[in-house]
């Protein structure tokens, strides 16, 4: 297993850990009948991102690209997973949705996390798809 695969798996486990913590806070919010939807988003969305990273760790060696392009794609996907997971965590604590770059500083920060992660995900997936296509 190469270093990039190890990084993907490690970050995947760390994102899953944040997601599981979010699940505990979801349980607490259910008992208190409070902010369930945002905690559920963190629990489910963080879990999906962690699994994405772990799954990618298993196939990253199949990508036929220059090493620096593979590394760029991998770190972009890791960046996406963390920025969106952190945005969901801040959203759950603050109840700031982050749908627009407006309002409070927290709302703007959540928006910036979501937006910057989304912006790097598209080129990362394009690179990975090209590299996998070349491997055929």
The structural domain count of the chain equals 1
> pLDDT tens digits for 10-24?
999 999 999 999 999
Place of tokens 């996998």: 132
pLDDT of 1 reads 56
Residue 84 burial (CB count, 10 A): 22
User: What share of the chain in percent tops pLDDT 70?
Assistant: 99
Residue 69 structure tokens: 């392009």
Domain of residue 16 covers 3-135
Helix (H) or strand (E) holding 47: helix 36-59
pLDDT of 33 reads 83
pLDDT of 35 reads 84
């Amino acid at each position: 297993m190469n270093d990039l695969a190890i990084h993907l798996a490690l970050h995947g486990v760390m994102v899953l850990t944040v997601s599981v913590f979010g699940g505990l806070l979801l349980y607490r919010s259910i008992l208190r009948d409070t902010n369930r939807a945002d905690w559920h988003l963190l629990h489910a969305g963080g879990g999906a991102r962690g699994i994405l990273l772990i799954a990618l760790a298993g196939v990253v060696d199949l990508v036929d690209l220059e090493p620096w392009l593979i590394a760029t794609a991998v770190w972009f996907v890791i960046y996406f997973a963390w920025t969106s997971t952190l945005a969901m965590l801040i959203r759950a604590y603050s109840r700031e949705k982050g749908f627009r770059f407006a309002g409070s500083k927290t709302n703007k920060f959540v928006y910036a996390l979501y937006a910057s992660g989304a912006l790097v995900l598209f080129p990362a997936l394009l690179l990975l798809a090209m590299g996998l296509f070349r491997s055929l």
